[in-house]
């Protein structure tokens, strides 16, 4: 009986495998192996076995770990043994992926038929390109061909191979790819609108965002009224009310630097130089990049005020010289960002959900039928609670009636609210007597909540009580608070070393969450989170994978860029994969991402061109990441929550 049950369980897998064999075993692979060739059939069964895919997934994860550890900019500091280990591991993983590719080519064919390796899916083409780029990188290292070493950065795409082997991630990415045509159509419309504003910006502001600057490294403040000395006591630089620099020499003669020629041609010994702004409208490419920064709302005020202060081409800016210039940016934000950028996000929402419904088999169903299926899924997932059975003994029935009475529920809710208010009254350096009163009230509430837990366990019974997730949470909080209360009477010198008391004090703060249990609105939101977690998890996993790939790519591109003045911030750089991922997560939140991009483009004289300068690819890297990470994936997570909120509100 057990053997037949196992066979019945394996039957769907066998049927699925047979479908794949019928699908792939067509034509001749490598012009040698026919469709009925036993060797080819065996290879096809092997590569389509679930354990084969799992082994390949493990290899992808291990190779990704190697990418995270292998920093190309620290190779010179490695020992010979470390270099050999990295080379062997790189060759090993490349060999494994090559064998996988060849086996799949034998099973499916290379170019013919339509199900062949290089024609069936884009994922196979991606695998092929990654393997080929690895061999080109090996050849570049062996022959010392510098321009071919750029293929090494394509190794950052290796983790993307995991997407096709994880179904939830494959559904998300597949839906995005199939929505690409509609997304590109809207993106082209947005780009057209931005180009119009970009051309207008070039006409209005080209060459006007420069200013005469003094090298801050040689400045020293002489007086509080901002008089600064350069190069000696007889040469001083002043800034007038419009922030324009001028110099008074030893003969009391005033020299102004109102334009680029005077700034660069006079008083060079005073380290005066004409410097262009980080974001300008000098050409259409610069204008589009500046408008993208403005549309992201990060640093847009700086750009607008530079336009307001602009006077003429290569002339020193004057504060509030042209205030109406602000209208250009206000109109662009309303049209280019609020309208068309949000339209771009909306199209992503709609097409993503429609494509995901088709992938889930809902393409032949109408909206009401899809809604009905979602409601059934919601009901099954939430598992409605049954009414606790009435105890048989009089003693337990007494507590049963109390803990299920509305008055008891409201009493506990009021106690929780008062306890939260008491906890919020604590502050630094509070009076001793005040602290004693608060601590005494905390003891009272701790005992009260312990009594509540005991009464519920007696009245409902341990089996029923611990079936409810909220009851488990309440019990853990009560136990933790009681332990923390007990630790107050233990030798504090020991606890201070172990920090145990502080750890248990966290349980006291978690009582805040108990307030939400009695609020019906929060209960509905909690149901939304429970239902949306699978979709949010899928989107989050794709986002983490994107962060990792961009981090590896960023380390290869910007890992050597200087850290310090003119370069990266010590807390936001690409020196290793972990810091790079933290930097990229910061960029997703929109925090100062434009300045990080500027730092990644640092050029001489602010860096050494032989070792620590930036890359001209920085705008492509950062803008593409902001577009995909912030505007697409983060908004898809929001769309998943909103979609489930609609379903829950209907149910």
| 328-341: pLDDT as tens digits | 999 999 998 888 87
pLDDT digits (tens, 9 = 90+) for 82-103: 888 888 898 899 999 999 999 9
**At residue 11, what are phi and psi to the nearest 5 degrees?**
-60, -45
More confident residue, 179 or 47: 47
**Quick one: pLDDT band at residue 497, thresholds 50, 70, 90?**
very low
Q: Is 602 helix (H, G, I), strand (E, B) or coil?
A: coil
What pLDDT does 257 receive? 62
CATH code for residues 522-650: 1.10.287.70
Residue 322 near residue 311 (C-beta atoms within 8 A): yes
In the chain, which segments carry CATH 1.10.287.70?
A: 522-650
What pLDDT does 420 receive? 84
**Quick one: pLDDT band at residue 228, thresholds 50, 70, 90?**
very low
Average pLDDT over residues 429-436: 90
DSSP string spanning 176-208?
HHHTHHHHHHHHHHHHHHHHHHHHHHHHHHTT-
- H helix intervals, 48-153: 50-69, 80-108, 117-120, 122-143
If phi > 0 it is left, if psi is from -120 to 50 it is alpha, else beta; for residue 215 that is: beta
Q: From CA 647, how far away is CA 651, in angstroms rounded? A: 6
Distances (CA, A) of 7 to 14, 16, 51, 150: 10, 14, 18, 52
Task: Examine the pLDDT at 230 and tell me if it is beyond 60.
Answer: no
Distances (CA, A) of 41 to 24, 107, 114, 120, 568: 9, 7, 18, 18, 55
> For the purposes of burial, counting CB atoms within 10 Å of the CB of 116, is it exposed (0-12), middle (13-18) or buried (19 or more)?
buried
**Quick one: pLDDT band at residue 345, thresholds 50, 70, 90?**
confident
Instruction: Classify residue 29 by its DSSP letter.
Output: B
Least confident stretch, 176-190, 507-521, 608-622: 507-521
Average pLDDT over residues 353-363: 62
More confident residue, 531 or 255: 531
Instruction: Say what the pTM is.
Output: 0.76
Q: Which CATH superfamily is domain 2-165 in?
A: Voltage-gated potassium channels. Chain C (1.20.120.350)
Task: Examine the pLDDT at 223 and tell me if it is beyond 50.
Answer: no
Architecture of domain 167-209+280-364: Orthogonal Bundle (1.10)
What pLDDT does 99 receive? 93
Detail the DSSP E strand segments found in 503-561. none
**Quick one: pLDDT band at residue 516, thresholds 50, 70, 90?**
low
What pLDDT does 173 receive? 79
Task: Examine the pLDDT at 491 and tell me if it is beyond 90.
Answer: no
Residue 585 near residue 255 (C-beta atoms within 8 A): no
374 is in an annotated binding site: no
In the chain, which segments carry CATH 1.20.120.350?
A: 2-165, 394-516
Residue 603 near residue 613 (C-beta atoms within 8 A): yes
Average pLDDT over residues 167-181: 75
Torsion of CA 63, 65, 66, 71, to 10 degrees: 140
Mean residue pLDDT across the chain: 78
Instruction: Determine the angle formed by the axes of helices 50-69 and 577-588, rounding to 10 degrees.
Output: 100
Least confident stretch, 374-378, 456-460, 474-478: 374-378
Q: From CA 25, how far away is CA 502, in angstroms rounded? A: 65
Task: Match domain 394-516 to its CATH number in 1.20.120.350, 2.60.34.10, 3.40.190.10, 3.40.50.300.
Answer: 1.20.120.350
């Amino acid at each position: 009986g057990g053997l037949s049950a196992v066979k019945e369980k394996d039957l769907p897998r066998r049927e699925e495998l047979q479908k794949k064999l019928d699908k792939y075993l067509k034509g001749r692979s490598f012009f040698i192996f026919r469709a009925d060739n036993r060797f080819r059939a065996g290879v096809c069964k092997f590569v389509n076995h679930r354990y084969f895919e799992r082994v390949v997934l493990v290899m992808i994860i291990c190779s990704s770990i190697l990418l995270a550890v292998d920093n190309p900019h620290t190779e010179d500091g490695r020992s010979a043994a470390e270099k050999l280990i990295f080379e062997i591991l790189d060759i090993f993983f490349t060999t494994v992926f090559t064998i996988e590719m060849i086996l799949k080519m034998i099973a499916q064919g290379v170019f013919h038929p339509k199900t062949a390796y290089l024609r069936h899916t884009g994922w196979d083409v991606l695998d092929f390109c990654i393997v080929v780029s690895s061999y080109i990188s090996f050849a570049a290292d062996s022959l010392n061909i510098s321009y071919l070493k750029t293929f090494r950065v394509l190794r950052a795409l290796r983790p993307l191979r995991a997407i096709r082997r994880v179904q939830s991630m494959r559904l998300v990415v597949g839906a995005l790819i199939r929505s690409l045509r509609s997304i590109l159509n809207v993106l082209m419309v947005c780009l057209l609108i931005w180009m119009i504003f970009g051309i207008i910006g070039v006409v209005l502001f080209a060459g006007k965002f420069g200013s005469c600057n003094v090298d801050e490294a040689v400045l020293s403040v002489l007086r509080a009224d901002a008089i600064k000395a350069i190069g000696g006591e007889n040469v001083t630089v002043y800034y007038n009310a419009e922030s324009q620099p001028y110099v008074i020499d030893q003969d009391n003669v005033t020299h102004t630097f109102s334009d680029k020629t005077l700034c660069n041609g006079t008083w060079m010994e005073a380290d005066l130089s004409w410097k262009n702004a980080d974001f300008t409208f000098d050409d259409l490419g610069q204008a589009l990049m500046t408008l993208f920064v403005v549309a992201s709302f990060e640093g847009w005020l700086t750009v607008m005020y530079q336009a307001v202060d602009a006077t003429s081409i290569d002339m020193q800016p004057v504060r509030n010289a042209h205030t109406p210039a602000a209208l250009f940016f206000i109109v662009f934000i309303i049209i280019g960002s609020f309208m068309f950028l949000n339209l771009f996000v909306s199209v992503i929402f709609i097409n993503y959900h429609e494509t995901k419904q088709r992938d889930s088999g809902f393409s032949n169903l109408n909206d009401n039928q899809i809604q009905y299926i979602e409601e059934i899924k919601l009901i099954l997932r939430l598992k409605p609670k049954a009414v606790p059975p009435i105890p048989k003994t009089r003693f337990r029935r007494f507590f049963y009636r109390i803990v299920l009475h509305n008055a008891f529920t409201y009493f506990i809710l009021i106690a929780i609210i008062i306890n939260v208010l008491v906890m919020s009254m604590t502050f630094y350096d509070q009076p001793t007597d005040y602290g004693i009163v608060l601590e005494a009230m905390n003891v009272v509430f701790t005992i009260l909540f312990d009594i509540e837990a005991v009464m519920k366990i007696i009245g409902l019974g341990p089996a029923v009580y611990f079936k409810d997730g909220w009851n488990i949470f309440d019990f853990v909080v009560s136990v933790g608070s009681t332990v923390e209360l007990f630790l107050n009477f233990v030798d504090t010198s020991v606890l201070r070393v172990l920090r145990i008391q502080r750890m248990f004090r966290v349980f006291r703060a978690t009582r805040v969450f108990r307030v939400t249990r009695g609020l019906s609105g929060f209960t509905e939101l909690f149901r939304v989170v429970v239902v949306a977690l699978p979709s949010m998890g899928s989107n989050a996993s794709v986002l983490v994978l994107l962060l990792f790939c961009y981090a590896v790519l960023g380390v290869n591109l910007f890992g050597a860029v200087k850290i310090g003045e003119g370069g990266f911030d010590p807390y936001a750089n690409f020196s290793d994969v972990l810091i790079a991922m933290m930097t990229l997560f910061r960029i997703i939140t929109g925090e100062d991402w434009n300045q990080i991009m500027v730092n990644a483009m640092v050029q001489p004289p602010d860096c050494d061109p032989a070792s620590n300068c930036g890359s001209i690819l920085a705008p492509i890297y950062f803008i593409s990441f902001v577009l995909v990470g912030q505007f697409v994936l983060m908004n898809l997570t929001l769309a998943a929550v909103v979609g489930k909120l609609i379903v829950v509100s209907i149910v």
